[in-house]
């Protein structure tokens, strides 16, 4: 499913977000990058309606996100935040089953099919043997994978990941981004990711969006838009782009 953004605005007391036009395509992974305070997380929270937005500014395959009920949005959009803190020490499988909430009538319990879907999501992130493990016993990288599995259990067509690789070592960072790319390619999901690691964004993204001060500076395929002038404009520091083995690397 494609996501269309047009004339989206949101304002805090000392910050304003305004996106005139963007479109995110199905089966593509798009990285949203920019300096701290650029509005990346605010943008994602607007798309997921965590923050209120005006009707007529966000659409999924022509359907107005702002006009949807919460359960309708949950079936279309899955959001994985930067950090998650749980009060209760659920087992991993029970934690993932929470992703089925949008499909369950009030006061009902998950069905055998819901459990099967949760287990399939756990298998997809290669943690199939973790079902009975307490959530608090997981490492940071494992928790990120479990959060993604919970999002997969929602069966949503749009997956939104807010800085999923922050504070992770290179191995887990690579695993998360390869999984995100796999979800776009194999599950045909529209995947939106905010990242700070520009090299990884260039490597894994089908498209990139550069943001600064609440606005989009550039968007498109990395090979089409990435140059040293853009990097200096967005980050206010000189960077060099070098090519090695067919890839672009960014050097400060």
HSE of 31, CA atoms in CB hemisphere, 13 A: 24
Residue whose entry in the numeric block shows the structure tokens 């206010």: 236
Examine the pLDDT at 43 and tell me if it is beyond 90: yes
HSE of 207, CA atoms in CB hemisphere, 13 A: 17
Q: How buried is 180 (Cβ within 10 angstroms: 0-12 exposed, 13-18 middle, 19+ buried)?
A: buried
Alpha-carbon Rg for the chain in angstroms: 18
pLDDT-based confidence at 240, cuts 50/70/90? very high
Q: What percent of the chain has pLDDT over 90?
A: 55
pLDDT-based confidence at 87, cuts 50/70/90? low
Domains annotated for the chain, with CATH where assigned, are 3-251 (3.40.50.300)
Examine the pLDDT at 84 and tell me if it is beyond 80: no
**Alpha-carbon distance 134 to 143, whole Å?**
11
**Nearest of 48, 54, 129, 42 to residue 93 by alpha carbon:** 129
Looking at residue 86, its pLDDT comes to 66
Average predicted confidence (pLDDT) for the chain: 90
pLDDT tens-digit series, residues 169-181 = 888 899 889 999 9
Q: What's the predicted TM-score (pTM) here? A: 0.89
Examine the pLDDT at 162 and tell me if it is beyond 90: yes
Looking at residue 193, its pLDDT comes to 96
Looking at residue 238, its pLDDT comes to 94
Looking at residue 101, its pLDDT comes to 83
Taking residues 100-126, what's their average pLDDT?
86
Examine the pLDDT at 77 and tell me if it is beyond 80: yes
Looking at residue 215, its pLDDT comes to 96
Taking residues 104-130, what's their average pLDDT?
86
Looking at residue 252, its pLDDT comes to 86
pLDDT tens-digit series, residues 138-155 = 888 888 889 889 988 988
Say if CB 24 and CB 190 are below 8 A apart.
yes
Examine the pLDDT at 224 and tell me if it is beyond 80: yes
Looking at residue 232, its pLDDT comes to 96
């Amino acid at each position: 499913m494609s996501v269309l953004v047009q004339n989206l605005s949101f304002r805090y007391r000392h910050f304003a977000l305004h996106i005139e036009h963007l479109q995110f395509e199905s089966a593509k992974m798009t990285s949203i990058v920019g300096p701290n305070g650029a509005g990346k997380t605010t943008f994602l929270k607007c798309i997921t309606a965590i923050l209120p937005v005006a009707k007529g500014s966000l659409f999924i395959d022509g359907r107005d996100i702002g006009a949807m009920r919460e359960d309708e949005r949950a079936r279309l959009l899955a959001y994985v935040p930067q950090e998650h803190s749980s009060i209760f020490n659920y087992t991993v499988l029970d934690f993932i089953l929470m992703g089925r909430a949008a499909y369950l009538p009030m006061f009902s319990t998950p069905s055998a099919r819901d459990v099967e879907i949760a287990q399939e999501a756990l298998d997809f992130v290669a943690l199939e043997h973790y079902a009975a493990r307490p959530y608090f016993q997981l490492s940071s990288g494992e928790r990120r994978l479990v959060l993604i599995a919970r999002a997969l259990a929602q069966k949503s067509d749009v997956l939104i990941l807010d800085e999923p690789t922050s504070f992770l070592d290179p191995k887990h960072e690579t695993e998360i981004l390869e999984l995100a790319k796999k979800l776009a390619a194999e599950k045909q999901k529209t995947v939106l990711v905010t990242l700070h690691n520009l090299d990884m964004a260039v490597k894994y993204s089908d498209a990139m969006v550069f943001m600064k001060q609440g606005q989009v500076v550039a968007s498109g395929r990395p090979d089409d838009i990435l140059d040293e002038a853009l990097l200096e404009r967005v980050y206010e520091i000189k960077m060099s782009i070098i090519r090695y083995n067919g890839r672009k690397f960014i050097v400060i």
